[in-house]
A and B are shown apart, each in its own frame.
Chain A
Amino acid sequence: MKAKIYVTLKKGVHDPQGEAVLGTLKHLGFKDVKGVRVGKYIELNLDGVPADKARHRIDAMCAKLLANPVIESYSYELD
Chain B
Amino acid sequence: MKFGVVQFPGSNCDQDCLYVLRKVLKRDARLLWHAAGDLGDVDCVILPGGFSYGDYLRTGAMAAHSPVMRAVSTFADRGGPVLGICNGFQILCEAGLLPGTLIRNKNLQFICEPCALRVERNDTRFTSQYRPGETVSIPIAHQDGHYYIDEAGLERLEKNRQIVFRYTSNPNGSVADIAGIVNEKGNILGMMPHPERASEKILGSEDGLKLWMSLNGS
Contact = CB atoms under 8 A, between A and B. Distances in A.
Contacts of B173: 14, 16
Nearest to B58: A68
Contacts of A40: 57
Contact of A65 (B61, B104, B146): B61
Given A68-B101, A70-B148, A16 B108 contact: yes
A16 B104 contact: yes
A68 B61 contact: yes
B108 A65 contact: no
Instruction: Summarize B's interface: helix, strand, loop or mixed.
Output: loop
A64 B65 CA distance: 9
15 contacts: A13-B103, A13-B148, A14-B103, A16-B104, A16-B105, A16-B107, A17-B108, A40-B57, A64-B65, A65-B57, A68-B61, A68-B94, A68-B101, A70-B150, A71-B103
Interface of A: 13-14, 16-17, 20, 40, 64-66, 68, 70-71
Interface of B: 57-58, 61-62, 65, 93-94, 100-101, 103-108, 146, 148-150, 173
A16 B106 contact: yes
A66 B57 contact: yes
Nearest to B93: A70
Contacts of B57: 40, 65-66
Most buried by B among A13, A20, A66, A71: A71
Contacts of B101: 68, 70-71
Given A14-B146, A64-B65, A70-B148, 19 more contacts: A13-B103, A13-B148, A14-B103, A14-B148, A14-B173, A16-B104, A16-B107, A16-B108, A20-B108, A65-B61, A65-B62, A65-B65, A68-B94, A68-B101, A70-B100, A70-B101, A70-B149, A70-B150, A71-B148
